[in-house]
Amino acid sequence: MIAHICGKVVEKFGSSVIVDVGGVGYEVTVTGLEYERLVLETEVKVYTYHSVREQSEELFGFMNLAGKRLFEMLITVQGIGPKAAMAILSIGESEVVRNAIANEDAVFVAKAVGVGKKSAERVIVDLKDKVGLALAYDKKEQVELVGRGDEALEALMALGYNIGDAMKALEGVDEKLGTAERVREALKAR
């Protein structure tokens, strides 16, 4: 299993990038949002999901661990394969998608290319209790993002916490503390 790769983005095409790691180019399929952000000739760390099927092997890449974990949850839903999961993650930041699922917003999830109303509803039913707590949410306005880009949140997820448990562990921890200190405090409160 390839958990992550670090290297230079040398090519971009379709919905994939090629990351050169020590002279070996890895083709990685990324979400539309991440594709736009990735710049040629820059060094990146990409968390990967290695999909092995009878006829193919593919790497799906994510710029943060939260996106990878949400992808892994999405592909457990019947009828949602890796490509549909990537389409769902392409409609917004992983935290926005997670929050939409937690708030049971099937209309938002159904905006993904190739994902119909029934599939979106199945995603909601299967994952709403697994993705964690819903945050303040207004379907007409924007989603309030709490924890977006939070290194302490990602560190707890790297230790095996799911998104919801990691957010809950950090609830009472002062956000002004450094990342390591916030993780320590969250682990103590456990």
What is this structure's pTM? Answer: 0.72
pLDDT higher than 50, residue 129: yes
pLDDT of residue 146: 41
pLDDT of residue 68: 92
Nearest one of 107, 26, 12, 20 to 59, comparing CA atoms: 26
CA dihedral over 114, 120, 123, 126, signed as positive or negative: negative
pLDDT tier for residue 141 given thresholds of 50, 70 and 90: very low
Locate tokens 């070996």: which residue?
A: 24
Residue type, 74: L
Q: Count the Cβ atoms, other than its own, within 10 Å of residue 56.
A: 7
Q: Give 140: exposed, middle or buried? Use CB within 10 Å, 0-12, 13-18, 19+.
A: exposed
Q: What stretch of H or E contains 13?
A: strand 4-13
Residue 46 sits at the vertex; the CA angle it makes with 93 and 42, to the nearest 5 degrees, is 100
* Residue 143's pLDDT band (cuts 50, 70, 90): very low
Residue 147 confidence (pLDDT) above 50: no
Which two structure tokens, joined as six digits, stand for 173? Answer: 């921890």
Q: What is the pLDDT of residue 136?
A: 52
